[in-house]
Amino acid sequence: MANPSSSISSSFIKFIVFFELLCACTLYTNGCYTSIISFGDSLADTGNLKQLYDDTNQESLHFFYPPYGETFFHKPTGRCSNGRLIIDFIAESMRLPLVHPFVGVKGRHMMALRRGVNYAVAGATALDSAFHAAQGVVNTMTNSSLGVQLEWFKHSLPSLCDNEPDCRHFIGDSLILMGEIGGNDYNHALIAGKSINDLKSYVPLVVEAIVSTLDELIEMGAKTILIPGNLPIGCSVVYLTLYYGSDKVDYDNSTGCITQLNQFSEYHNQLLNTELHKMREIYPQVDLIYADYYNAAMQFFQFPNKYGFTNGALKACCGGGGPFGYSLSTQCADSSSSVCLEPDTYANWDGLHLTEAAYKVIYMSVFQGPYAIPRFDTLCPTTVIKEMDGISSST
């Protein structure tokens, strides 16, 4: 006959083990955020643009083809990199699924996106397409601006909430990523031939579009929103190639980046920060976190070898050659392009976008380091993830 006290002891131990596992699970999911909701452009798009293009016209966009995705996913996923993006590292560190693109998911399948849904679209702008067309700049990639993405979110919200009468808890328990967004408002215009001075009038409008979207999300119940600033575009291989040999630009001796373009990025970021400071006073109950992508990235532009970028930070891994490994006429994945053998030793992937290794540095600096205001790790503890190399997940 079994000893009753032994049976009770065994049950108690099982309960304690179950309780500890439940607490551990809760800490890295429900304890911080139950879901990730993402808006933005190619820095966050996990496949929406790929879904928007049907099979007959996908060949017009090179990043739907190898070697995109080769490092982690081993196939193209619509991500504009060789592997994971910052949003992927965020999801992995919180023990959430990789954030699924919204486009193409319908009906009852929407419930599968309750733990992560992504509305970001590569090529998207903060201002709508009509504004840019009026300036003589046509976005041939997508018209899925920030306003369009917000409407997608509103339309899909009842399905995400399973038709609950109040979705405020779902939104309030989610980490919302506002971009990065705004960079393409400047990129498309610069590549179309607009001057840096031409774009200065865009900045207040871009920031206003971001702030307006934040206001709406807060009214809907958002409690934690992370808002990235722009990257140092003066270090982008596209612009280093575009302005190569020009006597109209100055270069930073410490990095080799274009000074005027980086100053422009800083102007955008300063204006965005000013508006976020005002919003914190209006919404003291909301965590509005500024993600300093600019200075997080400047670490490896200033000291590439320190971060393992032994082939430099100003040369593309994949592209058409030239002094920066990039050609305006030959894009990564073109039949005549070439790809490096060790992408992790490069910070730049294809001229405009960064490698998985570079995005990992930015993730670590923002989410586990000092490049967020307020510090993200004071709001949600992710310090248990000491070595990102040990993290693995699947789409």
Cβ neighbour number for residue 155 with a 10 Å cutoff: 10
How do the residues of the chain divide into helix, strand and coil, expressed in percent and rounded to 5? 45, 10, 45
Is 42 annotated as catalytic? yes
Q: Which residues touch 20 (CB under 8 Å, ≥6 apart)?
A: none
Of 41, 287, 344, 350, the active-site residue reads 350
Give the DSSP letter of residue 319. E
Give the DSSP letter of residue 98. P
Is 277 annotated as catalytic? no
Q: Is the dihedral of CA 343, 331, 48, 216 positive or negative?
A: positive
| Nearest CA-CA partner of 99 in 184, 180, 177 | 177
Of 132, 188, 268, 353, the active-site residue reads 353
> What string of DSSP letters covers 19-49?
HHHHHHHHHHTTTT-SEEEEE-STTT-SSHH
Of 42, 81, 144, 265, the active-site residue reads 42
> What are the structure tokens assigned to 287, written together?
């965590």
Distance CA 91, CA 110 (A): 18
> What are the structure tokens assigned to 63, written together?
């990043």
Is 353 annotated as catalytic? yes
- Strands 372-373 vs 287-291: parallel, antiparallel or unpaired: antiparallel
Q: How far is CA 74 from CA 45, 48, 71, in A?
A: 17, 19, 6
Active-site residue numbers?
42, 350, 353
